[in-house]
A and B are shown apart, each in its own frame.
Chain A
Amino acid sequence: MKAIRPENPADPVISLRGVTAELGSRPVLRGIDLTVHRGEVVALLGANGSGKSTAVRTVIGQVPVSGGEIEIFGTPRRRFRDWARVGYVPQRTTAAGGVPATVTEVVSSGRLSRARFGVLRKADREAVHRALAHVGMTDRAKDSVNALSGGQHQRVLIARALASEPELLIMDEPMAGVDLASQEVLAATLREQVAAGASVLLVLHELGPLEPLIDRAVVLRDGCVVHDGPPPAAVGQHALPGHDHVHPHTADAEPVRTGLLS
Chain B
Amino acid sequence: MEILNYAFMQRALLAAVLVGITAPAVGIYLVQRRQALMGDGIGHVAMTGVGLGFLLSTSPVWMATAVAVVGSVLMELIRWYGRTRGDIALAMLFYGGMAGGVMLINLAPGGSNANLSSYLFGSLSTVSQGDVLAICVLAALVVLVTLGLRRQLFAVSQDEEFARVTGLPVRALNLLTAITAAVTVTVAMRVVGLLLVSALMVVPVAAAQQLSRSFAATFAIAVTIGVGVTLGGTVTSYYQDVPPGATIVLLTIAVFIALTALATPLARRRARAVAAATGGEAGATDCVLPEAAAGAGTAPQPAPEKVPDSRTPAPR
Is B314 part of the contact surface with A, judged by Cβ < 8 Å?
Answer: no
B37 engages A112 (CB within 8 Å):
no
CB distance from B60 to the nearest CB of A (A): 25
B285 engages A181 (CB within 8 Å):
yes
A160 engages B162 (CB within 8 Å):
yes
What interface size band does chain A fall in?
35 or more
- State A63–B247 Cα separation when bound (angstroms): 47
Interface size on B, residues (CB 8 A): 52
Is B126 part of the contact surface with A, judged by Cβ < 8 Å?
Answer: no
Given contacts A105-B214, A118-B151, A142-B213, A62 and B161 within 8 Å (CB-CB): yes
Given contacts A100-B209, A257-B34, A118 and B152 within 8 Å (CB-CB): yes
- State A151–B31 Cα separation when bound (angstroms): 25
A62 engages B163 (CB within 8 Å):
no
A97 engages B292 (CB within 8 Å):
no
- Cβ–Cβ < 8 Å partners of B215 in chain A: 99-102, 105
Q: Is the interface of B mostly helix, strand, loop or mixed?
A: helix
B86: which of A82, A102, A151, A261 is its contact (CB, 8 Å)?
A: A261
- State A259–B27 Cα separation when bound (angstroms): 12
Is A147 part of the contact surface with B, judged by Cβ < 8 Å?
Answer: yes
- State A262–B161 Cα separation when bound (angstroms): 14
B158 engages A101 (CB within 8 Å):
yes
Which parts of A81-109 form the interface with B (CB within 8 Å)? 81-84, 86, 88, 90, 92, 95, 97-102, 105-106, 108-109
Is B172 part of the contact surface with A, judged by Cβ < 8 Å?
Answer: no
A179: which of B32, B41, B164, B285 is its contact (CB, 8 Å)?
A: B285
B288 engages A179 (CB within 8 Å):
yes
By beta carbon, the residue of chain A nearest B216 is A105
B154: which of A105, A142, A144, A241 is its contact (CB, 8 Å)?
A: A105
A99 engages B166 (CB within 8 Å):
no
A109 engages B151 (CB within 8 Å):
yes
A109 engages B166 (CB within 8 Å):
yes
Q: Which of B35, B167, B209, B296 has the most CB of A within 10 A?
A: B167
B296: which of A24, A106, A139, A241 is its contact (CB, 8 Å)?
A: A241
B213 engages A100 (CB within 8 Å):
yes
Is B132 part of the contact surface with A, judged by Cβ < 8 Å?
Answer: no
Is B176 part of the contact surface with A, judged by Cβ < 8 Å?
Answer: no
- State A125–B159 Cα separation when bound (angstroms): 20
A99 engages B32 (CB within 8 Å):
yes
Query: When A and B form their complex, what is the total count of cross-chain residue pairs whose Cβ atoms lie within 8 Å?
Result: 143
Is B289 part of the contact surface with A, judged by Cβ < 8 Å?
Answer: yes
- State A173–B20 Cα separation when bound (angstroms): 43
- State A195–B285 Cα separation when bound (angstroms): 29
Given contacts A147-B274, A260-B38, A261-B90, A102 and B167 within 8 Å (CB-CB): no
- State A257–B87 Cα separation when bound (angstroms): 12
Is B262 part of the contact surface with A, judged by Cβ < 8 Å?
Answer: no
Is A210 part of the contact surface with B, judged by Cβ < 8 Å?
Answer: no
Mark interface residues in B285-297 (1 if CB within 8 Å of A CB, else 0).
Answer: 1001100110010
A97 engages B159 (CB within 8 Å):
yes
By beta carbon, the residue of chain B nearest A59 is B165
- Cβ–Cβ < 8 Å partners of B271 in chain A: 147
CB distance from B268 to the nearest CB of A (A): 13
- Cβ–Cβ < 8 Å partners of A160 in chain B: 162
CB distance from B207 to the nearest CB of A (A): 12
Is A199 part of the contact surface with B, judged by Cβ < 8 Å?
Answer: no
A260 engages B162 (CB within 8 Å):
no
Is A75 part of the contact surface with B, judged by Cβ < 8 Å?
Answer: no
Which parts of A54-85 form the interface with B (CB within 8 Å)? 57, 60-62, 81-84
Is A164 part of the contact surface with B, judged by Cβ < 8 Å?
Answer: yes
Q: Could you list 14 further interchain pairs (A-B, Cβ under 8 angstroms) beyond the known A88-B162, A100-B209, A100-B213? A: A81-B167, A97-B34, A98-B33, A100-B214, A101-B214, A109-B151, A109-B154, A112-B155, A113-B165, A113-B167, A115-B151, A142-B214, A179-B285, A260-B75
Binding site for A on B (CB under 8 A): 28, 31-38, 41, 75, 79, 84, 86-87, 90, 149-152, 154-155, 157-159, 161-168, 205, 209, 212-218, 271, 274, 278, 282, 285, 288-289, 292-293, 296
